[in-house]
Each structure stands twice: as C-alpha cells, then as structure tokens.
C-alpha cells in the first residue's frame, strides 16, 4: 500500500474548507493521518506534522516568494475586506465562519516581509483585518504590518480569552469568533508614553546626526538632513530648484548606503539618471552634443547607486489623486525601506484640479505627508513653486508643516553670467535650531555640471544673527 492524500476534517475545520484551500492530509498505509500540506500560491507546500508541532517546506527553496497562504484563492479587491492571520489553521478557521477572503502569513516573524511582497494585492481591498495571535509576537506583527498601509484601512481583531482563531473553533465557539471579528476596531498606534522609564529610554537615544548638504553654509545652519523631518525648498519658476534636488540626491547616494525614493514629477526617468551621471562625471551628459559613451554614463550611475533596489525612481502616471501619492510614499518608506524621499514638485500632485479643490487637496496632502514623515521616520525633501509674493502656490499650509524652509532665488536677468547662474539660499524658518537668514550662494557651472558654493566665509560673516538668536526668534 502507498500513502494517500485526502481532504479531512481537522481541529474543528470542515473538509470542504480544506478542499477550498487545497489543503490535504497525508495518510499512512495503515490509515493513520501523518501530516497536512498547506499549498501556497507558488506551488510550495508548508508541511506540518500532526504528531509534533513542527513544519518543513517542500518545493522551491526560496520561500520568501511563496506568497500569502490562500492569496491565489481570491482575486485582488474581489471583496470589501481581507483578513490576515498568523497561521494557516487560523486562516481556514476564519474563512469557515466569514466566507470572505482570509489569508495567512508564514509566521509572526516574517509577517512584514510576507505582507510587503503581497502589498499590491492586499491594498486592493478597502479594509484589512489583522487577526494575529494574542501574544507579544502577534502584537509586534500587527505594529509592523499596519505601517505598510493607510491606518484608515486597518482593523485589529482582538482575541480575548483564547490565543488564536482556531482555538475558538476547536472549543465550538464559532459564533463568538464571528462576533469578535465584527467588533474589530480601527488600528491605533501605541504612541502614548507616560512613565519615567519611558522618558529615560527616550532621552538615552543617540542624537540624530544629519547628513551634510552639498553646501557648507546650509549644513552649518541646519545641522544637515535628518530623518523624521520635512525640508521644503521653494522658489519661483526657472530658478534652479531641480538642479538643487539633483545635487542633494547625488549627495545622499554617495554619502550613505540608505535607500532613496525619487519622485521627480516634471522630469523623465532618463533625464534624472543623466543628471546623476552628469554630477558624477562633471559633464552635461544629457546634451545632444556631449560625446560621453553610453557605457560610461551607465557605469557612472552604477557607481553612484551601488546596488539594485536602492534608488527607486517613480514614474508619474498622470494621476491627480493625493491618496495614490501618499500610498506610494508610504510604500517607499516601509516596503522599500527608503530613509530619504525627494519630491519635485508637490504642486503637480494635484495638477488638473479646480483652484479650490487644489488648495484643499494640498492642505490634506501636506498634513498627511508630515504625519508619515514623523511616524515612519524618513527624511522628506520637497519642492514647491511660489508666486510673486513668495507664497507657496496652491496652499500656504506647506510652510506650516515643514520643519525647515529654504528659499531659493536667482537674478535671471543679470547681465553678468556668473550672477545670472548664482542661486541665493535663505532660511526663513528653521524649527530644529532656529538659525535663519542667508544660507549661502551656489553657482551652477554648466561645463562641469556642478553646483558649488561661493564666498562661503563672507556669507556666514554677513549673517549677523547666525548662532546668536534671541529667545523670541527661536520661539517664532
């Protein structure tokens, strides 16, 4: 006799449920159940022994890409909600009482990775229910997975007197399990600290060391670029804001090993990569009369970026829905671990909307952006156009939510070519340390494709208030 494989009822779960998820029990020649094989979307099987609480994988050795258990049983967005559990038995149990999409991560420790790999599929549902185990590992998994999505979509299923969903089925408490699911609440981050030990641990955290800007004066006045802060660069059109952003992007890529998200909405992908190569080679490689061989340009970009999956270049798809951009930035900060995100420019996020709708959308977008920056601890550097009065276009709220504001100006009509190519930087607002005023002049050299600071010492000396601000100025 040989082993057989059958759909059997087990642990309160009907055989029809096992059949739906294509989960079979292995039967010995003597008729004894030996193990259960949970089939994953890529064809892998997670085989669990029925005698001992252990499991092994059968199939592709790369289990990281197995997908969520049950994901292939439901089309993306086919229902209003999807439920994620910590184990396969729990997924089967909840599906049996809900009859709506239920999937499982491989384990609590891999929950963030598993949900990251299936994020697009999960995000297609309006609501995402997290039904992880009632223990410390489950709580950690909830916090990690919740950050991958808009919190408004996340609901937490809290098991009270039992550890997980399957325990309720085994105890014959299907109705109670259903009620618990229906009473799931919106996820609320645990962000309240009140004990002295909490305060001590917070104060003992190392001070953040900011990444230097490419220009010394700006670095001295801001202490550099820090995660958890938003920097707004604003100027009128044709001043050179994008060139400033190119230089900052190159600086981040060459001075750190961190992942970076680049959303240059006015610029094709090729032009952005040519800018990175141009700064590295000190040549305007994007110009038609430049004779730099393509392989040298490609090598320059490779030298700056260093590795795959580090620089994430966003293709603007013409949407004017701020929610989609917010989700993209959340994806970059969480699923792609980007510590720095550059957005040029924010006004294009709502381009095409009517004036009143544009203002309201920008207010909403900028507020939610700042919340993301603080919650996910990444650095956001964004550009905004200003009108003739120096006010940010579309919404004045942009300057209120930013931690540091940098004004850029240039005399585009100057007869002197050096003056015409000089960008003057000024800091009107600096929440971190209060230093405001002139922050250096940088000159763009088209021949070497570089932005270099000039008269560094004179600029600092001219700023009489640098490092000597009154309490009133610092509190402003």
Give yes or no for a contact between 275 and 246, defined as CB atoms under 8 angstroms apart.
yes
Q: Is residue 398 part of a domain?
A: yes
- In this structure, what CATH number is given to the domain that contains residue 453? 3.40.50.300
Inter-CA distances, 291 with 190, 297, 447, Å: 57, 10, 13
- In whole angstroms, how far apart are CA 418 and each of 391, 423, 440, 443? 27, 10, 15, 7
| Domain identity same for 317 and 379 | yes
Residue 293 resides in a domain: no
- Do both 87 and 225 map to the same domain? no
My answer on whether 181 and 228 are in the same domain is no
How many Å apart are CA 316 and CA 344, to the nearest integer? 11
Q: Is residue 314 part of a domain?
A: yes
Per-residue tokens: 350: 């709502």
Kindly state whether residue 273 falls inside one of the protein's structural domains. no
Paired with 130 in beta bridges are 84, 156
List the 45-49 sheet strands across, edge first. Answer: 4-6, 24-27, 33-39, 45-49, 55-58
Q: Are residues 140 and 251 in the same domain?
A: no
**Is the same domain home to 153 and 235?**
no
Of the residues 186, 205, 232, the one at which a domain ends: 186
What whole-number distance in Å separates Cα of residue 96 and Cα of residue 83? 12
Q: pLDDT tens, position by position, for the chain (476 residues)?
A: 688 888 888 899 999 999 999 999 989 888 888 899 999 999 889 999 888 778 888 887 778 888 999 999 999 999 999 999 999 999 999 999 999 999 999 999 999 999 999 999 999 999 999 999 999 999 999 999 999 999 899 999 999 889 999 999 999 999 999 999 999 999 988 777 778 888 898 889 888 889 999 999 999 999 999 999 999 998 887 788 899 999 999 999 999 999 999 999 888 899 999 999 999 999 999 999 989 999 999 999 999 999 999 999 987 655 557 777 888 899 999 999 999 999 987 777 665 544 556 667 777 778 888 889 999 999 999 988 776 555 555 556 566 778 999 999 888 888 888 888 899 999 999 999 999 999 999 998 888 888 999 875 444 433 433 343 333 333 33
Q: Are both 255 and 326 inside the same structural domain?
A: yes
Structure tokens at 437: 């005023």
Residue ending a domain, among 186, 207, 242, is: 186
* Residue 292 lies inside a defined structural domain of this protein: no
Mark whether 158 and 229 lie in a shared domain.
Answer: no
Other residues' Cβ atoms within 10 Å of the Cβ of residue 180: 21
Q: Does residue 321 lie within any of the structural domains?
A: yes
- Strand 45-49 and strand 33-39: the pairing is antiparallel
What's the structural domain count of the chain? 2
Sign of the torsion formed by the C-alpha atoms of 40, 43, 46 and 51: positive
**Phi, psi of 49, deg, nearest 5:** -70, 140
Kindly report the CATH number assigned to the domain that includes residue 152.
3.40.1360.10
Which residue carries 């966003």 as its tokens? 314
In a domain, 25, yes or no: yes
Asked whether residue 394 falls in the same domain as residue 444, the answer is yes
312 and 437: one domain? yes
Q: Are residues 36 and 140 in the same domain?
A: yes
What is d(CA 130, CA 151) in angstroms, rounded to the nearest whole number?
A: 12
pLDDT of residue 356: 54
Q: Residue 173: inside a domain, yes or no? A: yes
- Range(s) of the domain holding residue 377: 216-267+303-475
Q: What pLDDT, on a 0 to 100 scale, did the predictor assign at position 366?
A: 80
Of the three residues 171, 186, 201, the one that is the final residue of a domain is 186
In 3D space, the residue among 346, 375, 378 whose CA is nearest the CA of residue 363 turns out to be 346
* Structure-token pair, residue 243: 């060139």
Structure tokens belonging to residue 24? 């079979």
Residues 155, 84 within the same domain: yes
Query: Is residue 246 located within the same domain as residue 137?
Result: no
């Amino acid at each position: 006799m040989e082993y057989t494989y059958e759909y059997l009822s087990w642990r309160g779960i009907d055989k029809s449920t096992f059949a739906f998820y294509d989960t079979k029990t292995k039967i010995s020649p003597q008729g004894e159940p030996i193990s259960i094989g949970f089939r994953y979307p890529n064809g892998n099987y997670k085989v669990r022994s029925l005698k001992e609480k252990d499991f092994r994988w059968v199939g592709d050795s790369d289990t990281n890409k197995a997908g969520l258990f049950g994901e292939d049983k439901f089309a993306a967005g086919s229902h209003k909600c999807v439920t994620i559990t910590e184990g396969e038995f729990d997924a089967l149990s909840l599906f049996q009482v809900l009859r709506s999409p239920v999937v499982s991560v491989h384990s609590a420790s891999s929950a963030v990775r598993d949900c990251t790999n299936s994020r697009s599929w999960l995000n297609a549902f309006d609501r995402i229910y997290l039904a992880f185990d009632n223990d410390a590992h489950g709580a950690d998994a909830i916090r990690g997975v919740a950050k991958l999505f808009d919190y408004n979509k996340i609901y937490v299923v809290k098991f009270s007197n039992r550890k997980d969903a399957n325990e309720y089925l085994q105890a014959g408490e299907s109705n109670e399990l259903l009620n618990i699911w229906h009473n799931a609440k919106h996820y609320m981050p645990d962000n309240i600290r009140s004990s002295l030990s909490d305060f001590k641990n917070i104060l003992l955290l190392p001070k953040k060391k900011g990444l230097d800007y490419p220009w010394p004066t700006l670095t001295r006045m801001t202490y550099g670029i820090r995660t958890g802060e938003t920097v707004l660069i604003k100027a009128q059109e044709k001043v050179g804001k994008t060139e400033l952003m190119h230089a900052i992007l190159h600086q981040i890529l060459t001075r750190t090993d961190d992942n970076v998200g680049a959303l240059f909405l006015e610029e094709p992908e090729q032009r952005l990569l040519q800018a990175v190569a141009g700064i590295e080679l000190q040549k305007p490689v994007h110009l038609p009369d430049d004779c730099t061989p393509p392989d040298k340009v490609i090598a320059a970009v490779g030298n700056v970026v260093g590795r795959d999956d580090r620089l994430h270049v966003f293709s603007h798809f013409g949407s004017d829905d701020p929610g989609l951009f917010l989700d993209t930035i959340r994806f970059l900060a969480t699923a792609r671990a980007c510590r720095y995100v550059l957005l040029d420019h924010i006004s294009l996020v709502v381009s095409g909307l009517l004036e009143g709708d544009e203002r309201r959308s920008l207010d909403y977008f900028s507020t939610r952006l700042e919340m993301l920056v603080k919650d996910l601890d990444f650095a956001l550097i964004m550009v905004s156009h200003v009108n003739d009065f120096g006010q940010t276009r579309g919404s004045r709220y942009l300057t209120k939510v930013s931690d540091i504001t940098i004004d850029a100006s240039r005399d585009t009509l100057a007869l002197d070519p050096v003056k015409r190519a000089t960008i003057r930087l000024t800091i009107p607002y600096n929440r971190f340390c209060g230093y405001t005023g002139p922050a250096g002049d940088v000159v763009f050299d088209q021949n070497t494709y570089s932005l270099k600071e000039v008269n560094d010492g004179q600029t600092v000396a001219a700023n009489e208030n640098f490092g000597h601000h009154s309490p009133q100025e610092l509190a402003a």
